[in-house]
Amino acid sequence: MTIAAGTTTTVRRAADAPSLITEDDLPPARHFIDGTFVDPSTGRVIDVVDPCTENVIARIPEGTAEDIDRAVAAAVAAKGQWGRMTPRKRSELLHAIAGRVADNADLLSRLESANTGKPLAVSRDDVDMTVDTFRFMAGAVRATTSIAAGDYAENHLSLILREPLGVIGVVTPWNYPLLMAAWKIAPILAAGNTLVIKPSEQTPLSTLKFAELVEDFLPPGVLNVVNGYGAGAGARLAEHPDVNMIALTGSVNSGRAVARGAADSLKRVHLELGGKAPVVIFEDADLAAAASSLRVAGFWNSGQECGAACRVLVHESVADRFVEQLVGEVRALSVGEPQAGDDVEVGPMVSKAHFDRVTGYLERAPKEGVRVATGGGALDGPGYFVAPTVLVDVPEGAEVAREEIFGPVITVETFSDEEEAVRRANGVPLGLSASVWTENARRSHDIAARLDFGTVWVNSHLVLAGEVPWGGFKGSGYGRDLSLYALDDYSRTKHVMHNHER
Ligand code: NAD
């Protein structure tokens, strides 16, 4: 491939713009337990940093096992009443929550962008989808039934009941702090469970604000938020004997740790882990449509997206043409701080540690023969900005094609036939999502069926809807977010059999 490398991207700054948030916008820097914000068990705090400026914008308490135990006790005490509530009543409360979030969309978007650096367009979309998730679950829980009652053994009437599990522990990541919380909280509450959520230590502000905004709708103890690190508060939640299920969205290693912690109490485990989505582009695909779709799907949320279109496998006969179009799209991306304009498309990496991780991949890549077509490194600080990058000449099995980079980086590999495309697409341990690009319907059905991923798009990528499930295969975990499948995951079925012989 003959594209010349080079980065002309600069970070758009908003030096004179007012700060995104004021002191008044911040939630209380405490835990939310039993319906109120409470003092933590220790004075230890965690700095919350704005990744555009590297400034500390808040300090939250570092939750301990003691704080988790207190929150779980509140959730246990609340579960009976909440679980017995009719679906209609719970549905009304979820609708009320959706309305409150919608009314505070601007505040929540600004808070999310201040904490993560993500463009306001992304934060607004997150809040919009949060509202939709609560509305969907509010409706779905009223329409959910079990299979019809009947006599399946002579003179015995069987009823199949759907029950809440009890108390659910939830651990969320930093990439979509509010939205990932909503994907758990809405179905968990709809199904009649109570919960304790531990947001990412890096991005707790929108979850705490959410609790503050909806506290008057929920009985005390139904929703509890405990701040803290994974190894402390998160691990205690996973192992707690009174927690009936632990649901984590995060990295594969955290998933393993949570599953191990859950093993002794044999609680259910629900894991939404990493992704490394292949984008399989055949020679008959609409290349321009694929390139412009990847401008969004590869760089949405600065590539810090588990379904990001990050790994292109393109037929060798059209590879040069496709790369040229893709590079054109990527070079046109607008990188900047959230206040720099509504048209900013790419923000910084969420933290210094993550920035180092992403740039580390870019520094090592040339040693495996990989070439930079555009981007390829850090942008000027302050802040943790990385240039939108396309890597070409990527050999099979290269580190950048195998591991989840979770940044604004697309790799391009080539293949010569369908068998090779499918084998290489499936040749990673993760199985969250993938896409196929072809104008041939027989081929798209067949290839989609052979791809080992929980979601496969055809001539599209990263389009989600509340009605359809989201979740992975293989190393991407198990359990489903969104849709009726999530409601099902947070419920248990009970068979009650009546002898009515006379
Ligand atoms: P992370 O695993 O570092 O952290 C996620 C959460 O797990 C945090 O709250 C953290 O404190 C907690 N945690 C860490 N170790 C723990 C432990 N031992 N016990 C309990 N909790 C622990 O992940 P991250 O860096 O915040 O998020 C990025 C990862 O999340 C990526 O791998 C991404 O693919 C994945 N992700 C997946 C989805 C999905 O739907 N599949 C969605 C978003 C993010």
Q: Is the CB of 274 under 6 A from ligand 1?
A: yes
- State the closest ligand 1 atom to the C-alpha of 176, by its place in the atom list counted from 1: 43
Q: Whose CA is nearest to atom 36 of ligand 1?
A: 250
Q: How many angstroms separate the alpha carbon of residue 116 from the centre of ligand 1?
A: 15
Nearest C-alpha to atom 9 of ligand 1 is from which residue? 200
Sequence-separated (6 or more) residues with CB below 8 Å from residue 242: 72, 73, 76, 167
Cβ atoms of 198 and 63 within 8 Å: the answer is yes
Residue 310 annotated as catalytic: no
Phi and psi at 108, nearest 5°, equal: -65, -35
| Measured torsion, CA atoms of residues 434, 438, 441, 445, in degrees rounded to the nearest 10 | -20
Contacts of 406 (CB under 8 A, 6+ apart): 175, 274, 303, 304, 305, 308, 354, 357, 358
* Atom number of ligand 1 nearest to Cα 252: 32
Q: Is the dihedral of CA 95, 99, 100, 101 positive or negative?
A: positive
For residue 94, CA distances in Å to 64, 130, 186, 218, 492 come to: 30, 11, 7, 9, 21
Beta bridge partners of 332: none
Packing angle, helices 87-103 and 120-143, rounded to 10: 170
Q: Would the CB of 129 count as within 6 Å of ligand 1?
A: no
Mutate to test the pocket of ligand 1, among 48, 64, 175, 202 (most ligand atoms within 8 A of CB): 175
258 CB near ligand 1 (under 6 Å): yes
- For 4, residues 6+ apart whose C-beta sits below 8 A from its C-beta are none
Q: Pairing mode, if any, of strands 433-437 and 277-281?
A: parallel
CA 302 – CA 388 distance, rounded (Å): 8
Q: Is the CB of 329 under 6 A from ligand 1?
A: no
Annotated catalytic residue 272: yes
Instruction: For residue 105, give the nearest of 122, 119, 129, 124 by alpha carbon.
Output: 124
Ligand 1 atom nearest to CA at 237: 20
Closest protein CA for atom 43 of ligand 1: 306
Q: Whose Cα sits closest to atom 17 in ligand 1?
A: 230
CB 277 within 8 A of CB 432: yes
CB of 249 closer than 6 A to ligand 1?
yes
Q: Are 72 and 33 in contact (CB under 8 A)?
A: no
Rounded to the nearest whole angstrom, what is the distance from the C-alpha of residue 254 to the centroid of ligand 1?
6
Closest C-alpha residue for ligand 1 atom 33 = 274
For residue 202, the CA-to-ligand 1 centroid distance in Å is 11
**β 430-431/473-474 pair status:** antiparallel
Q: What is the rounded end-to-end Cα distance, in angstroms, of the chain?
A: 82
Report the alpha-carbon angle 246-39-130, nearest 5: 45
At residue 78, φ and ψ (nearest 5 deg) are -90, -15
Distance 367 CA to ligand 1 centre (A): 29
DSSP 12: B
DSSP state of 218: S
Question: Exposure of 15 by Cβ count < 10 A (0-12 exposed, 13-18 middle, 19+ buried)?
Answer: exposed
Is the shortest distance between the CB of 227 and ligand 1 below 6 Å? no
Q: Ligand 1 centre and the CA of 305: distance in Å?
A: 12
Residue identifier of the C-alpha nearest atom 8 of ligand 1 = 200
Ligand 1 atom with the shortest distance to the CA of 228: 11
Helix residue ranges per DSSP H, 365-402: 399-402
Q: Is any atom of ligand 1 closer than 6 Å to the C-beta of 275?
A: yes
Ligand 1 centroid–CA 257 distance in Å is 11
Given the residues 112, 239, 272, 413, select the one marked as catalytic: 272
Strands (E), 184-331: 194-198, 223-225, 245-249, 268-272, 277-281, 309-315
Burial-class residue 322 by CB neighbours within 10 Å (0-12, 13-18, 19+): buried
What ligand 1 atom has the least distance to the C-alpha of 258? 19
pLDDT in tens, the chain (502 residues): 444 455 568 999 998 888 999 999 999 999 999 999 999 999 999 999 999 999 999 999 999 999 999 999 999 999 999 999 999 999 999 999 999 999 999 999 999 999 999 999 999 999 999 999 999 999 999 998 888 899 999 999 999 999 999 999 999 999 999 999 999 999 999 999 999 999 999 999 999 999 999 999 999 999 999 999 999 999 999 999 999 999 999 999 999 999 999 999 999 999 999 999 999 999 999 999 999 999 999 999 999 999 999 999 999 999 999 999 999 999 999 999 999 999 999 999 999 999 999 999 999 999 999 999 999 999 999 999 999 999 999 999 999 999 999 999 999 999 999 999 999 999 999 999 999 999 999 999 999 999 999 999 999 999 999 999 999 999 999 999 999 999 999 999 999 999 999 9
Catalytic residue among 305, 306, 337, 413: 306
136 contacts: CB under 8 Å, gap ≥ 6: 186, 466, 467, 482
Ligand 1 close to Cβ of residue 310 (< 6 A)? no
Compute the distance from residue 248 Cα to the ligand 1 centre, in Å. 7
Give the pLDDT score at 3. Answer: 46
Residue 476 CA: nearest ligand 1 atom is 41
Instruction: Give me the pLDDT at residue 9, please.
Output: 84
Ligand 1: distance of its center to the CA of 154 in Å? 50
Residue minimizing CA distance to atom 20 of ligand 1 = 234
The whole-angstrom separation of Cα 370 and Cα 412 is 10
Q: Which atom of ligand 1 is nearest to the CA of 198?
A: 9
Q: Which domains does the chain have, with CATH numbers?
A: 23-273+476-495 (3.40.605.10), 278-465 (3.40.309.10)
